[in-house]
Amino acid sequence: MSEKKLKRWERKFRKAAESDDFAVLRDHLRRLELPDEPELLLHGTILFVQACCAYATLDGQKSFDAFLQLQSYFLRDAPDAKYAFTFDICGKGFARVLVPTKSGILDLADLYGNPWWEYEVCGYQCFWVSRTDGKALTEDELLQIQDEVTEDLRFDYSEDELDFWFNESAVQGALLVELQDVEHFE
């Protein structure tokens, strides 16, 4: 993984957020009915993008340049980004990752098991999928995203290990995916 590329992306992302007084991140949080904490979204996004790049490198992907280009602060600068995945990092922060489609970009299972040392938590408790153009997800998109999320998570976690469910009505136009480890009582 090229640390220089990541550092350059991070500086550009931070500078854009600060010059905009976090308006884009504030609007994103408001749309998902989340707390007005854009600094938490900024920091969490940086951590998630770094983790996504690390996992891509471990998976043998030669370059994550295209992925980094999608992670623009301003959506107008990422015209290929169709969806925003917004993660709740166990109540400690939020992260926004932009993708053209779900397939092959995010490894939701790896991110679910990722330790976030700064937050003293592992993974995330839920995430929202929304369109970057502000339109509501269509029925076809909802079904496709549900199938892809299920396939991704079930590749690494069995039903005995992880439970998750989809909520189409939590936030208008977006899909909420909630996760919970399965606890076994003896």
pLDDT tens sequence across 79-89: 999 999 999 99
Residue-range definition of the domain harbouring residue 139: 3-181
pLDDT tens sequence across 74-129: 999 999 999 999 999 999 999 999 998 755 568 999 999 999 999 999 999 999 99
Q: At 3, is the secondary structure helix, strand, or coil? A: helix
In a domain? residue 114: yes
Q: List, in sequence order, every residue forming a beta bridge with 97; answer none if it has no partner.
A: 85
C-alpha dihedral (26, 180, 129, 107), degrees to nearest 10: 110
The total domain count for the chain is 1
Q: At 177, is the secondary structure helix, strand, or coil? A: strand
Q: List, in sequence order, every residue forming a beta bridge with 167; answer none if it has no partner.
A: 176
User: Token pair 């007005």 is at which residue?
Assistant: 36
Q: H or E element: which one contains 48?
A: helix 38-58
In a domain? residue 186: no
pTM for this entry: 0.93
In a domain? residue 130: yes
In a domain? residue 14: yes
In a domain? residue 129: yes
In a domain? residue 16: yes
In a domain? residue 89: yes
In a domain? residue 41: yes
